[in-house]
Amino acid sequence: MFPFVPRKVARKPKAPTNEASISQSTRSATLNYRPPEHVSPRNDSQESRPSGKGKDKQVEHANEEDISALVRLSMSDHSLWLNPDLRRTIETSQEGYIPLTYILTHSPYLSQLKPSLSEAALSKAIRNQLAATFDIRVLVSSPSRAEWYGKASTSKDVVGGYEVRMKEWKEALQRARNMSRNDWELRTVYVSIVLPKHHQDKPGDQPKCKGFALVTLSDTTLVESLRTRYPWDRHPDAQTHEIEGDVFQEAQKIGFRAITKAQWDRLNEEYLQYKQSLLDEMNLVTDQDEYHDSGHNLTSRKRSPSPTGSESIVGAQQSGQVTTLASQYPFGCLLFIRHVHPETNKTTLKTLFSRALLEGDSTAEGIDYVDFNKGMETCHLRVATPDHARKIVDHFSTNNLVQAGGLDQTAIEIEGHDVTGKRITVELVEGTREELYWGKVPEKVRRAAVEKAVNGIVPTAGGTDEGKPKRKRRRK
């Protein structure tokens, strides 16, 4: 069976008058038909047939220069160092050749193209643009069973196709093994473009950044050349007659500039510190507004070194905020912690604050949950009872402790130690802030916290986060 009907057969013949004429016309059509060469058993879809008219025209892929650039990025020294699977595939291959389909499916650059590239288009671009650095060959094999019988192809059934290798693949693997992260950091630059001012901009408006990227180059000399040619703090009136060219003029027009990765890291740290200072100011203003709305005397309340711990808890209990089984949430069981290490984690913080409870008669089970997000210097701490909250506040009010590192579970006294960082401060959360926080906690967790605060902490074999109640055991 052929995937099409010949024209002579497809043309509607005249109605024959008898059976003899029918057999004669069929025989002549069969004898005059010649099958085309290289007929594939696959049924080609309408989309794959080339047509140059109107909407039927195929979507053109990127040109060969762009494709070759993506191939070079996919097989660069940095890609070999960053992708151990690619490096292992080349090492275990025969003579350094790897299937072209592997690059198409595993490359972070080529696999994202829409529509996807075909092997033929990619091999053509490699032959025309990268013949000096890449070798490509074709493996010929027998047709797969899936093509003839219409079955889904499997990895064992798909054989043959294009294979490619770098001509200096052994040297490239050696360079990838000898490079370290610090070596690539020195070869990385941060580039951005800032468009010039618009005629509708108001006086004093800052130009907006329209694009940025971290670019890894092959040599440190290229980093220095790029940084020198396109400095980060370039004066707008600077004269650059010694460098000419359309590319340079266009780069200057859009405000293209570059700095090293180390300089970008320092600027990023400054930005994070500035962001944290804004968050601290917002928290300070929020605290003052809420205390003002609650009728507290702001003039008598001091911000440092820490809030009044046990006095706040006693005041809360005297004002009628006593937790009962009918309460929506436990009163006096929420603490706000400042100046923890941004690289710490919930387990480390739970151990750190549990030490404040272990000094007295309490147990570490008094810590109910640590509400912390990675990268922040603040967190919320939920405890079982107000008594646990008082002990933690008193402990950090009387001791000047700082968390030296992300995994520091003990905290260090500031006096007598050369440590950097701010003192850990603990504040009891009350009023509207306390109500808003508990309103975001699931009902099941709130009820368990209320029961803990009313009935007291019940030691268990293993503590559970989020205040989950103990699971009931089935009776046999």
pLDDT tens-place string over residues 95-148: 889 888 888 888 888 888 888 888 888 888 898 998 888 998 888 766 656 555
Between 418 and 334, residue with greater pLDDT? 334
pLDDT tens-place string over residues 150-185: 555 554 444 458 888 998 888 988 888 888 888 888
Between 59 and 408, residue with greater pLDDT? 408
- What pLDDT is stored for residue 376 in this prediction? 86
| Three-class secondary structure assignment of the chain | CCCCCCHHHHCCCCCCCCHHHHHHHHHHHHHHCCCCCCCCCCCCCHHHCCCCCHHHCCCCCCCHHHHHHHHHHHCCHHHHHHCHHHHHHHHHCCCCCEEHHHHHHHCCCHHHCCCCCCHHHHHHHHHHHCCCCEEEEEECCCCCHHHHHCCCCCCCCCCCEEEEEECCHHHHHHHHHHCCHHHHHHCEEEEEEECCCCCCCCCCCCCCEEEEEEEECCCHHHHHHHHHHCCCCCCCCCCCCCCCCHHHHHHHHCCCEEEEHHHHHHHHHHHHHHHHHHHHHHHHHHHHHHHHHCCCCCCCCCCCCCCCHHHHHHHHHHCCCCCCCCCCCCCCCEEEEECCCCCCCHHHHHHHHHHHHHCCCCCHHHEEEEECCCCCCEEEEEECCHHHHHHHHHHHHHCCEECCCCCCCCCEECCCCCCCCCCCEEEECCHHHHHHHHHCCCHHHHHHHHHHHHHCCCCCCCCCHHHCCCCCCCCC
Place of tokens 């070596």: 183
User: What's the whole-number mean pLDDT along residues 323-346?
Assistant: 88
- Would you list the domain boundaries of the chain? 64-178, 180-198+205-236+244-296, 302-462
> What is the residue type of 249?
Q
Cβ neighbours of residue 64 closer than 8 Å, sequence gap 6 or more: 124, 125, 128, 129
Whole-angstrom distance between the N-terminal and C-terminal Cα of the chain?
69
pLDDT tens-place string over residues 425-442: 899 988 888 888 998 888
pTM: 0.42
pLDDT tens-place string over residues 251-271: 877 788 888 888 888 888 888
Point out which residues pair with 213 in neighbouring strands. Answer: 191
Largest CA distance in the chain: 117
Instruction: Please give the Cα distance from 193 to 375 (Å, whole number).
Output: 28
CATH class of 302-462: alpha beta
Q: Which two tokens stand for residue 465?
A: 């986060």
Q: Which phi and psi angles does 52 have, rounded to 5°?
A: -105, 15
- What pLDDT is stored for residue 43 in this prediction? 42
341 with 403: CB under 8 angstroms? yes
Mean pLDDT, the chain, integer: 73
Instruction: Please give the Cα distance from 456 to 89 (Å, whole number).
Output: 61
Confidence of residue 380 (pLDDT cuts 50, 70, 90): very high
pLDDT tens-place string over residues 381-396: 999 888 888 888 988 8
User: What's the whole-number mean pLDDT along residues 303-315?
Assistant: 42
- What pLDDT is stored for residue 52 in this prediction? 47
Instruction: Please give the Cα distance from 148 to 150 (Å, whole number).
Output: 6
| The residue count for the chain | 476
Instruction: Please give the Cα distance from 377 to 275 (Å, whole number).
Output: 11
Q: Which phi and psi angles does 6 have, rounded to 5°?
A: -60, 155
Between 27 and 245, residue with greater pLDDT? 245
Q: Is 268 left (phi over 0), alpha (psi -120 to 50) or beta?
A: alpha
CA angle 440–441–443, rounded 5-degree value: 115
Instruction: Identify the weakest region by mean pLDDT among 1-10, 18-27, 65-74.
Output: 18-27
User: What's the whole-number mean pLDDT along residues 332-350?
Assistant: 89
